[in-house]
Amino acid sequence: MLPINEGTSDHVLQNQHPCPKLQKLKLADLEMLEDISQGKYSGIPMCDLKDMEVDSFSRLTHMRIARSGKLETLVVRNCNSLRSLVLPSNCFNLKKIEISSCNILKEISTNPEQEKTDKNNLESILLENLEKLSSFSLDTREFPSLQKMRIVNCPMLETLPRNNYTKEDNALNKHSTLVLFDDKEEDSQTGEGKMKMPPKLESLELADLPNMQLWKQEPQIPVFRNLTLLKMMRCRSFETLFPIPVAQHLSVMKFLTLYGCVNMVQVLEGGGGNHERVFEKLETLVLKHLPSLTSFCEQEVDFGEFPELKMVRVEDVPKMNTFVKLALKTPKLSQVHVTYITKFWLGDLNETVKYLHKNHEKIKDEVWESDQSNTGHHTSTAESSSQSESRFKEAA
């Protein structure tokens, strides 16, 4: 491992001094460094490099990584002058990409001069606090090994991995919606700009994406069969999370959090019949700060039971007057949390939600008074919850 810290050099690891056996590289706090590359198409030549971390560069404007076929992990964070990041096209062993807190980064792309490969082993993608990022472009739309995806506070993001997305397309779609996944099974030109459904995806966390849609049309193929965790925060374009036929594929979902999605009216919509089975493994459901939500599902659908549901939290959902229209069994549920401390239970989930709706203002005042009285002893529940939620660490 080669750590380089607190330097003032304006260049690093140029081609005259390659490090062919280097496997781990960490660069941090190099104040004068402006470009991690040398020559127009060269970049950093490290054949055996597996892990690379770049952190806290105040002047770094461009970063190009070249010829690193063994690279497995790339982390770039706190580089507030970085404008472009170019990855090698032959990174077929890359498993983790984490790019965060680069305030003016506009584009993440691959080197067009290098030979492309269809092979892709990415397991984790994290894009966070990239307020100017408009394009995250790799050479493939297929991610057969992807297990975790987290996109937080990337409000200008319009395109994810795509092939033939042109500048003219971008000009025509300045205010376009970010469509996350392709809704078709087969290859097609209409799929450009969208990821194909990652078949192994287990964790999906999305926040502060004001114009995002998961897909344009309801998928006609099974999706999210391995998804166990979904967190969605402050994504205001959603009125409904899933159609019921899609939710039926989420047979292993355990944790669902919806927070601050101000236009969401219902979580599930529609259904092909009177009896629908969904979320049979769901253990934790969090509904917070959803001012438009009226129920979990507006239609009269018999869901039967949520057999594994153990924890429900409903906070600041003033229009939700019932959970679902018909009776619902929740054999492992015995209370509904408003905060970690305040809980209610009136025999079943529907009756408890009705009570919360009827007494919303009273409960809200009581919670506020309770928080104030506890301030002298510890941080208030509301404050600590807000802080943890903003970092996606609140599970309930």
123/255 same-domain check: no
Terminal Cα distance for the chain, rounded: 39
177 with 278, same domain? Answer: no
Cβ(315)–Cβ(343) under 8 Å? no
Which of 329-333, 360-364, 390-394 has the least mean pLDDT?
390-394
Pairing state of beta strands 73-77 and 96-100?
Answer: parallel
User: Tokens for 224?
Assistant: 């999210």
Residue range 24-34: average pLDDT? Answer: 78
What are the tens digits of pLDDT across the range 242-287?
999 889 899 999 999 999 999 999 999 986 556 788 999 999 999 9
In a shared domain, residues 336 and 244:
yes
- Best mean pLDDT range from 135-139, 175-179, 187-191: 135-139
Pairing of strands 311-315, 284-288: parallel
Predicted confidence at residue 139, as pLDDT, reads 64
| CA–CA separation, 117 and 204 (whole Å) | 26
Please tell me whether residues 315 and 342 are part of one structural domain: yes
Task: Express each pLDDT in 371-387 by its tens digit.
Answer: 666 655 443 333 333 44
Mean per-residue pLDDT, 91-112: 88
Portion of the chain with pLDDT greater than 90, in percent = 42
- Tell me: the pLDDT tens digits for 41-66? 344 555 678 898 999 888 888 888 76
Tell whether the model's pLDDT for residue 302 goes beyond 60. yes
pLDDT at residue 294 is higher than 70: yes
Please say whether the dihedral angle defined by the alpha carbons of residues 334, 339, 341 and 342, taken in this order, is positive or negative.
negative
The lowest-confidence range among 38-42, 52-56, 129-133, 292-296 is 38-42
- pLDDT for position 133: 92
Point out the domain boundary residue: 174, 209, 244.
Answer: 209
Is 125 a residue whose pLDDT tops 90?
yes
Q: Does the pLDDT at position 352 exceed 70?
A: yes
DSSP, residue by residue, 20-47:
TT--EEEEE--TT--EE--TTTT-EE-T
- Any residues with CB less than 8 A from the CB of 156 and at least 6 apart, and which? 131, 132, 133, 134
Query: Model-level pTM?
Result: 0.81
State whether 115 and 11 are in the same domain.
yes
Same domain for 237 and 383, yes or no, is yes
pLDDT at 348: 94
Rounded percentage of the chain residues whose pLDDT exceeds 70? 70
Asked if the model's pLDDT at residue 110 lies above 60, the reply is yes
- The average confidence (pLDDT) of the chain is 79
Do 268 and 146 reside in the same domain of the chain? no
Give the pLDDT score at 254.
97
Q: Give residue 273's pLDDT.
A: 58
> Same structural domain for residues 385 and 294?
yes
Domain span holding position 228: 218-396
Q: Looking at residue 37, what is its pLDDT? A: 61
Judge whether residue 396 has pLDDT over 50: no
Note whether 155 and 269 are same-domain residues.
no
Residue with tokens 């993001």: 157
One domain, residues 200 and 330: no
Provide the pairing of β-strand 336-337 with 2-5. Answer: unpaired
Q: Domain count of the chain?
A: 2
pLDDT band at 336 (very low <50, low <70, confident <90, very high): very high
CA distance 127 to 102: 10
- 347 in the same domain as 302: yes
Of 265 and 183, the one with more pLDDT? 265
pLDDT single digits (tens) 146-159: 999 999 999 988 76
Residue-wise pLDDT tens digits, 200-227: 999 999 999 988 888 777 777 778 899 9
The answer to whether residues 7 and 155 belong to one domain is yes
